[in-house]
Amino acid sequence: MTDNTMAAGSAPAAAPISSGQASESAASANTTTFAVILSLSFCHLLNDMMQSLVPALYPILKDSYALTFGQIGFITLAFQCTASMLQPVVGMYTDKKPQPYSLMIGMGFTLVGLLLMSRADSYPTILLAAALIGMGSSVFHPEASRVARMAAGGRYGLAQSLFQVGGNMGSAAGPLLAAFIVVPHGQQSIVWFSAAALVAMIVLFQVGHWYKARRAVSKPAVRKAAGTTGAAAPALSRRRVGVAIAILVALLFSKNVYSASLGSYFTFYLIHKFGVDVQDAQLYLFAFLVGIVIGTILGGLVGDKVGRIPVMWFSILGALPFALMLPYANLFWTAVLAVTVAIIMASAFSAILVYAQDLLPGRVGLVAGMFFGVSFGLGGLGAAALGEIADHAGIEAVYKVTPYLLLLGLLTAFLPRQASLAR
C-alpha cells in the first residue's frame, strides 16, 4: 500500500465532483493512509501518557493526603466515568455532524486537567482534575477512531491496532516517567507534561485539515468505498444485534475489571507482598503495560487474517490459567505472569471494536464512543470496587478473586458468525 500525505485527497469544498474525480477519491480512500493513522497514534500516545500519570501519582497522593484504597478507587472512578458517560454522546453527535477540529478541543480539556492536578491541594480538587482529564478522553477517542477507520483502506483491524497501540505505549510510558520524574520531584512536576498536550493539539489541528478535506470530496458512494460506513449490514435482526453487543460489553467487563486490578493496584501489591520500593514497583508496572502494547499489535494483525472471534476466544480464556497462578508466584514469576496476561488480554480490544463496528455499519462514532467509554467506565467501576475489597480483605485477595471474571469469555460462543462479521 502507498502512504498518502496528510493533505491527500484534498479539494475545494465548493467544486463539483465528476465521476472521474469520485473514482479517484474512492481509489485513494481504499489505500491505507499511514501518515494519518500514525499521527493519530502519536497523539493517542501523548494523550494516554498524560492520563496514565494519574494512577502513577496514587502512591504519592495516598501518602500526602492520607487517602484510603477506597478513595484512590474513586479518583479512578471520577476520571473514567466522565469519559465513559460522555463518549457515547460525543460519538452519536459526530456520527450526524462530524467535527474535524474536535480532536484538538478534546486535548485542551486534558491540558486544563493536568494543570489543575499539578496544583491540587485537596481531595475534591484532585477529583475535579481527574474528571477534566476524563472529559478530554471522551472527546478524543470517538472521532480519532472514526478518522483511523476512514484512513484504514479496508485494513480495519490493523488501523485500530495502530491507533490503540499509541495509547498503550503512552500508558506504558506514564509509570516510567513517574518513576524518574514525578516520584523524585513530586506532584507539581505534572505541570511539565502540559507541553505534550500543546504538541498534540498542533498535530491534531493538521489531522483536522485532512479530515475536513477528505469529507469535502466524499460523496455517499465514495464514503462507502472508503469504508467510512463500514461493511455491508449483516442480515441480523435488531434483537440479535443487541444480544451480540451485550456479549461484547460482557467480554470488555471481564477484561477491563481484571486489567484495573493490575493497572491501579499492582504497585501496591508489589510493595505489600514483596517489599519493593515505589520506583521499582513503577518499573514492574511499566513492564506490564509494555505487554499490553505487544498484545494490541499482535491482536490487530492476527484478527485481520484469521477473524475476530478466534482472537476473542484466545484473548480472554487464554489469560485465565496465568491469572490464576499469579497470586501464588514469587516476585520474578509475578512479573512474568503479569506480562503474559497483558499480552494475551490486550489482543482482544481491536477485535471487539471492529466486530462491533461491522455489527452497526455507519455508526462508527457511536460504537467507538460506546466501547472506549464502556472500557473506561468498567475499569473505573472495577477500580472502585476492588479498592473496597482491598480495604476490607487485603490487597492479595483482589488477585485471588478477579481471575474468575475471565470465565465470561465463554459467552463468545453465542456471537453471530456471519461471513461479514467473522473475517
d(CA 49, CA 46): 5
Q: Is residue 14 part of a domain?
A: no
CB 161 within 8 A of CB 131: no
Local confidence pLDDT in tens for the 423 residues of the chain: 444 444 444 333 444 444 444 444 444 445 668 888 899 999 989 988 887 777 778 878 888 888 888 888 888 788 877 877 778 888 888 888 877 888 898 899 889 988 898 888 889 999 999 889 888 888 888 888 888 888 877 777 778 888 888 887 887 777 677 778 877 877 788 888 888 889 999 999 999 888 888 776 654 444 444 444 444 445 678 888 889 988 988 888 888 788 877 777 888 889 989 999 887 887 888 888 888 888 888 887 777 778 788 888 888 788 999 999 999 999 999 999 999 998 998 888 788 888 888 888 777 777 877 777 776 667 667 777 888 888 888 888 888 888 998 888 888 888 887 645 545
**Cell triple for 233:** 449490514
Q: Is residue 124 part of a domain?
A: yes
Q: What CA–CA distances, in Å, run from 231 to 109, 228, 237, 265, 362? A: 33, 9, 16, 40, 9
DSSP label at residue 415? S
Q: Is residue 12 part of a domain?
A: no
108 Cβ contact partners less than 8 Å away, ≥ 6 residues apart: 136, 197, 201
Could you tell me the CATH number of the domain that includes residue 198?
1.20.1250.20
CB-neighbour burial class of residue 378 (10 A; exposed 0-12, middle 13-18, buried 19+): buried
**Cell triple for 254:** 471481564
Q: What CA–CA distances, in Å, run from 72 to 56, 259, 341? A: 11, 16, 24
pTM here is: 0.65
Q: Max CA-CA distance within the chain? A: 69
The per-residue pLDDT for 22 is: 43
Q: Is residue 7 part of a domain?
A: no
Number of structural domains in the chain? 1
Q: Is residue 377 part of a domain?
A: yes
Q: Is residue 142 part of a domain?
A: yes
Q: What CA–CA distances, in Å, run from 198 to 50, 55, 94, 114, 412? A: 12, 22, 24, 12, 41
How many Cα atoms are found within 13 Å in the side-chain-facing hemisphere of 363?
17
Opening angle at CA 139, ends 242 and 120, nearest 5: 125
DSSP label at residue 177? H
Which of 239, 232, 245, 225 is CA-nearest to residue 420?
232
Place of cell 491540587: 120
The per-residue pLDDT for 229 is: 41
Q: Is residue 91 part of a domain?
A: yes
Q: Is residue 292 part of a domain?
A: yes
Place of cell 494483525: 301
d(CA 47, CA 372): 14
Which range marks the domain in which residue 147 is found? 27-422
Place of cell 473505573: 380
